[in-house]
Structure 1
Amino acid sequence: MMQVTDVHKAIDGKAILRGASFTIEPGKITGLVGRNGAGKTTLLRTLVGIYDPDHGSVLFHGTDIHKHAACKQEVVFVPDAPTALEMYTIRECAAWYGMIYPNFDLFFFTSAMERFKLPMNKRVRTLSKGMKMLFSTALGLATKAKLILFDEPTNGVDAVAKKQLLSLIVNSLDEHNSIVISSHMLGELDRMADTVVLLQEGRTDDIWELEHLRERMKKLQVVFNGDKPPMWLHRADVFVLQQVGRVNTVILETDEAMAALQELNPLLVDELPLTLEDWFIGKAGDNDDEA
């Protein structure tokens, strides 16, 4: 569906993206994760054609989205706040989107507004944070675009609105469209995403199918003989999540790390469930300091 190849982007002379490459496949939810300042919002704005890349390419079904404006009708960006729509009523926004996007589904949108108890004559600026995100999420999904990108859709949203919002997104996915979600709420992505892309310092550092991630990596609690931790904890394929006394909570990235661990004959090895948050902390955290 979309092929992102070696995308670079600088803003005001500062390099934000330094080589982002990955593929977005149809029928899947892709989670985009990274620490603050990693370039996630800039990447999303580049994918949708708001920013032009300084280097690299973004192809949508083989067509450069930055050279063919028609592609933008099939790629929609939902920001973390609908600032540009604040002065308009919900009805006016729907009419505007209906003129821009040929497949806009007014029935889907009005049904969502009724379900969320949002009057069509309400101005966007008068809505709460959660209601604004429900509105803008429904508006984006109503375009029936092939690719919809969300930037922190649940940030600042209360628990009830969050559940409604995530349900709306998941239920809108089918085999013909794709969804990208940038979020710090890793527990949510853990339950929703099929693929996760880790962005670090403007580069795509790692890309995983979550199912394969859990098959390959292991999270363990390990207790070693003696008081001095072994050098095994400093291996490149071992990520130390936590050390409490002699108990080490680690992620193993390779079979070789497990084989080396077994040779050390530790006192205790206990396997724990691996979460996306564990993986993110291991990859994006300061592993050397923790070990």
Structure 2
Amino acid sequence: MLELKYVEKSFGQSRPILHVRDLRIPSGEIVGVLGENGSGKTTLLKAIMGLGEVKYRDIAINGRPVQEQYDQLAFITEEGSYIPKLTPLQYADFLAAFYPRFDLVYYNKLLKFYELEPNKRIRTFSRGQKSKLEISAGMAKGAKYILMDEPFLGKDMFTRRDFLKLMIGNLKGDETILIVTHHLDEIETVIDRALIMSRGRIEADFYMDDLREQGKDLTAIMAEKAGYKPDRYKTVLE
């Protein structure tokens, strides 16, 4: 279980840009972390990973501080966590030394699938190629907790579909996934649970099965929590 007992980030005396208490995510869940731009989604994932300054940070995995078991976590980020001067194969050696469950065979399969040159320096890759390398490395780490920050950014719909198929197909059932994305329609049938954030706080936390039983959809809940008014644009046209 991943437990966020108390996490807060703020600047000076202003309203916290992140404030989360008593959030528990059992092992094996796929959780969508959703919300408007600037709602705190990326900040939340970075706080779990120990990136950036956080005022209060009490996070545990199975009762132990998360900072003692980073080998259990993989962070797939649009910013990229690779080392540009290395080649993909050299990067694999680096990852294998840190992640004891790193799957080199699977990693090489992903490189081949995404048509990435294994002996070419990463810094020479295009943005799209770097993004695919980030996915390949993250999914091959063998981590039990996988955090994804906008893994679909800049990818066409076919690449996004392939990624979801590969992700689901490679899961063993005990992995916990947190995924930040704006592509609601593509993850709605994949995630087990949704967290909707606004102004640094979790405004809604529900299971997708419960939502379906109520006859509601994810987009409608998102609009409600964001205070979105579908006719607001008309004031500009009047």
Which bin holds the TM-score, normalised by the shorter protein?
Answer: 0.7 to 0.9
Partner secondary structure for residue 196 of structure 1: strand
State the TM-score, normalized to the length of structure 1. Answer: 0.73
Write the distance in 2 (CA, Å) between the matches of 1:95 and 1:86.
Answer: 14
Match of 1:159 among 157, 160, 173: 157
Partner secondary structure for residue 85 of structure 1: coil
1:35 aligns to what?
A: 36
2:56 aligns to what?
A: 55
Counterpart code for 1:61: N
Write the distance in 2 (CA, Å) between the matches of 1:83 and 1:13.
Answer: 32
Counterpart code for 2:31: T
2:235 aligns to what?
A: none
Matches within 5 A, 1:1-291: 1-10=1-10, 15-51=16-52, 53-66=54-67, 68=68, 71-82=69-80, 84-216=82-214, 218=215, 274-286=216-228
Shift >4 Å, 4+ stretches: 11-14, 287-290
Conserved 8 A contact 2:39-2:197:
yes
**Bigger CA radius of gyration:** 1
After superposition, the Cα gap between the structure-2 partners of 1:4 and 1:91, relative to the gap in structure 1 and judged at 3 Å, is same
Measured after TM superposition, the shift of residue 129 of structure 1 is 3.2
Measured after TM superposition, the shift of residue 112 of structure 1 is 1.2
| RMSD value, Cα | 2.2
Write the distance in 1 (CA, Å) between the matches of 2:124 and 2:12.
Answer: 34
Conserved 8 A contact 2:31-2:191:
yes
Counterpart code for 1:54: K
Write the distance in 1 (CA, Å) between the matches of 2:43 and 2:155.
Answer: 22
Partner secondary structure for residue 103 of structure 1: coil
Aligned residue pairs total 231
Write the distance in 1 (CA, Å) between the matches of 2:92 and 2:150.
Answer: 22
Conserved 8 A contact 1:20-1:203:
no
State the TM-score, normalized to the length of structure 2. Answer: 0.88
Write the distance in 2 (CA, Å) between the matches of 1:37 and 1:31.
Answer: 16
Counterpart code for 1:31: G
Measured after TM superposition, the shift of residue 24 of structure 1 is 1.8
Return 131-140 or 6-15, whichever deviates more: 6-15
Deviations 1:65-120 (A, max 9, x none): 13x2xx10001211113265233211121111111111111111011111222121
Conserved 8 A contact 2:83-2:122:
yes
Write the distance in 1 (CA, Å) between the matches of 2:78 and 2:119.
Answer: 22
Write the distance in 2 (CA, Å) between the matches of 1:124 and 1:36.
Answer: 29
Greater length-normalized contact order (CA 8 Å, ≥ 6 residues apart): 2
Q: Which has the higher strand share?
A: 1
Measured after TM superposition, the shift of residue 45 of structure 1 is 0.8
Measured after TM superposition, the shift of residue 205 of structure 1 is 1.0
Counterpart code for 2:219: E
Counterpart code for 2:6: D
Partner secondary structure for residue 192 of structure 1: coil
Identity of aligned residues (%): 29
Write the distance in 1 (CA, Å) between the matches of 2:111 and 2:155.
Answer: 17
Write the distance in 1 (CA, Å) between the matches of 2:116 and 2:197.
Answer: 36
Conserved 8 A contact 1:77-1:140:
yes
